[in-house]
Chain A
Amino acid sequence: MAQHACDLTFLSRSDGSALYSIGLTAALASVNGPGDVKVSNRLYNRSHVEVCYSPSTGHPMIRERALESIIMRTVEKAILVHLHPRTAINISIQEMQSDGLALSVSVNAACLALLDAGIQMKTTFAAITCCITPFGTILIDPTEAEIQESVAEATFVFDGSGEAKVLTALQDGHLSYEDFKRCLQQCQEASKDVFAFYRGTIEKKYQNEIES
């Protein structure tokens, strides 16, 4: 497993922000809200969640829009949106550098930024990417080069309930059912470490705040 690292309250102007890196992939997420919302987006019974993903080069295109919608669907399941009706929660994610794990880094950054902003959530969530080599070995947190050589790549987002239920699953490439199950299991295992890391990060943040 690659090294996960995170820095909370990274940006001064956002309500919550987190810089998250897994190996050489890094993303910055910022959360603003719950705040005022345009009339066209106003929902009477829940808050409107918008996700804005910016690539490091160029304007957002189809790939970025697809990532946005994946992250949006995941995040909406976790946030207690009905607590703040007629508001908006804005999540902006900036790709800093990419080495194959753009999606899982963005999801994890979004989760920690939401925690940093103090947005009420049903559960935390963590994304794990794995790939399976032609020899059948499963690599957790692969690099770009490893993904290129693999036969299949899968990303799972788990909730932090302890059972690690799957919130989102994505998979590319050819995979037998058995292999898929192995991938899921291994990712599920790995997610426990990530949640432990989340806990450590947040504990440290509040420890600091209480002490200083």
Chain B
Amino acid sequence: MKEVPLSTCERTSLVSSIHAGLRYDHRKFMEVRDITLNFGKDFGSCSATLGETRVLAQVTCEVVEPRPSRPNEGKLSIAVHLSPMAAPHLEPGRTNDIVDELQQILDRNIKESRCLDLESLCIQAEESVWQLRLDVTVLNHAGNLGDACNLASVAALRHFHRPDVTVEADGRVTVHTLEERQPIPTFMRKVPVCLTYAFFMEGEHCITVMDPTEQEERVMCGRLVVGLNPHGEITSLLFPGRMMMEKETLLSCIRKAFTKAKSVAETVQQAVEDDLTQRKTVSVKPRGYEVKNLRSDTDYNRWLIDQRVDKRKLMIEENVMPMEEEMQDPFEANVQQPEDSEDSDVNPPATSSKTPLGPSSHKKKKKESVMANGSEEEGDEEEEEVKSKLTAEDLL
């Protein structure tokens, strides 16, 4: 199917609102969309969302012969898949520019940066090693696939546990099932983070925006994808041209990326650890991607509206005129002092993106279409519906 065209009006409206300091989704220029991480019932499966962008990463392993050039290192292979599910114009089974680029970003950030301790994946030098296979599938393409894929991949790899093995005296290798012996976690030395900046030109002046949505990606002049880890190392840089930039602007973006990278890395680590400890303590088997554990895009949007309504209510209570506040804020933050815009971020993403906090507290209230015990939460549901009714009117 053909790509949905972006009309000239939409294009100009998007660009001019960015020139005016506003984004369609009410974010500040340096604000990253909400991150959630969910883990599957087995080890090494992670579904990450970055706003509406949704990526599934799955790690599997098998015993293979090592490369002759590196006899005591395990192998890691990464494959990126895009199906029409991600966006209707993508054709199944065919490589396209997006896949090629994502593959390059992931290869550099995860494979070439050697963030994974491949030597610990060796079973017997020159004989057998573990090969980890990382499959990254984009489920919904709503912009900034690089960051989302990187996020899901890193979380899946950190979450992954491989089965224990014993090597017999005669060199035979026995792989124990997860029930027989405790599986062994992978060891990731550093957490690679990927951050994307989009650039918009307003005459000679350049506006930098973080984490562009799909619409923004279609109208932006150029972008910079930085792969880095919180230790201060750059694992990949991709500024594929399409526009001219001053060196200083680029470098200042890269420098600023580090503060952000720290919080993102913490989010990932925290989410993985939370899930792993839960698996250890709770005797019940993890339910994985059950419907009630994942948040749909509709619910995400409703949650965004709820948040805005809550915020506005709070403002009214404090006798602040909401309209003025909202209009001034982005201008102050981004136009007058573009350098400091990041610091003025009121709520860093770490707080909002911690999986248990924001989204899932809402999720408890979320209506679940659960057949067996659907009736239990009727009360909650009604309350919720009243609320959503309110919000919609509020916004009108």
Interface residues, chain A, with chain B CB atoms under 8 Å away: 3-15, 17, 19-21, 24, 26, 28, 30, 32-33, 35-37, 52, 54, 56-60, 88, 90, 92, 94, 96-97, 99, 193, 197, 200-201, 204, 208, 211-212
A28 close to B139 (CB less than 8 A): yes
Given A5-B291, A36-B2: A94 touches B135 (CB 8 Å cut-off):
no
The 7 sampled A-B contact pairs (Cβ below 8 Å) are: A12-B140, A21-B289, A30-B84, A30-B85, A52-B83, A54-B81, A96-B288
A208 close to B291 (CB less than 8 A): no
B368: chain A residues at CB < 8 Å are 5
B374 close to A94 (CB less than 8 A): no
A14 close to B88 (CB less than 8 A): yes
Tally of A-B residue pairs with Cβ under 8 A?
A: 156
A32 close to B1 (CB less than 8 A): yes
The reply to whether the CB of B40 lies closer than 8 angstroms to some CB of chain A is yes
- Cα–Cα, bound, A24→B137 (Å): 20
Rounded to whole Å, the gap between the CB of B122 and the closest CB of chain A is 23
The reply to whether the CB of B188 lies closer than 8 angstroms to some CB of chain A is no
B140 close to A94 (CB less than 8 A): no
Given A9-B296, A88-B1: A3 touches B372 (CB 8 Å cut-off):
yes
Among residues 35 to 64 in chain B, which have CB atoms less than 8 Å away from a CB atom of chain A?
A: 40-42, 45, 47, 52, 54, 56, 58, 60
The reply to whether the CB of B294 lies closer than 8 angstroms to some CB of chain A is yes
Rounded to whole Å, the gap between the CB of A71 and the closest CB of chain B is 14
Given A21-B290, A58-B133: A212 touches B389 (CB 8 Å cut-off):
yes
Rounded to whole Å, the gap between the CB of B7 and the closest CB of chain A is 18
Nearest neighbor of B300 in chain A, beta-carbon distance: A12
The reply to whether the CB of B69 lies closer than 8 angstroms to some CB of chain A is no
Given A30-B85, A88-B1, A200-B374: A97 touches B40 (CB 8 Å cut-off):
yes
CB-CB nearest 4 A-B residue pairs: A5-B291, A92-B85, A12-B297, A32-B88
B370: chain A residues at CB < 8 Å are 3, 5
- Cα–Cα, bound, A58→B42 (Å): 16
Q: 19 additional contacts, CB 8 Å, given A12-B301, A96-B47, A211-B385? A: A3-B371, A4-B371, A5-B290, A5-B371, A9-B298, A11-B54, A12-B52, A12-B297, A20-B291, A24-B287, A32-B84, A37-B1, A54-B83, A56-B137, A58-B133, A90-B1, A97-B289, A208-B388, A211-B389
Interface residues, chain B, with chain A CB atoms under 8 Å away: 1-2, 40-42, 45, 47, 52, 54, 56, 58, 60, 79, 81, 83-88, 92-93, 133, 135, 137, 139-142, 214, 285, 287-292, 294, 296-299, 301, 367-374, 385, 388-389, 391-392
A204 close to B1 (CB less than 8 A): no
- Cα–Cα, bound, A76→B181 (Å): 47
Rounded to whole Å, the gap between the CB of B368 and the closest CB of chain A is 7
- Cα–Cα, bound, A211→B381 (Å): 13
A30: chain B residues at CB < 8 Å are 84-85
B1 close to A52 (CB less than 8 A): no
A7 close to B92 (CB less than 8 A): no
A13 close to B140 (CB less than 8 A): yes
B133: chain A residues at CB < 8 Å are 57-58
- Cα–Cα, bound, A174→B83 (Å): 37
A12: chain B residues at CB < 8 Å are 52, 140, 142, 297-298, 301
A90 close to B289 (CB less than 8 A): no
With a 10 A CB-CB cut-off, give which of B47, B85, B93 has the most chain A CB atoms. Answer: B85
- Cα–Cα, bound, A201→B214 (Å): 30
B388 close to A7 (CB less than 8 A): no
A19 close to B296 (CB less than 8 A): yes
B294 close to A7 (CB less than 8 A): yes
Nearest neighbor of A4 in chain B, beta-carbon distance: B371
B291 close to A6 (CB less than 8 A): yes
- Cα–Cα, bound, A11→B84 (Å): 12
Q: Of A4, A11, A88, A197, which is within 8 A of B85 by CB?
A: A11
Nearest neighbor of A37 in chain B, beta-carbon distance: B1
B389 close to A96 (CB less than 8 A): no
- Cα–Cα, bound, A12→B85 (Å): 10
Nearest neighbor of B4 in chain A, beta-carbon distance: A13
Given A6-B291, A13-B140: A35 touches B85 (CB 8 Å cut-off):
no
Q: Of B42, B86, B285, which is within 8 A of A13 by CB?
A: B86
B137: chain A residues at CB < 8 Å are 54, 56, 94
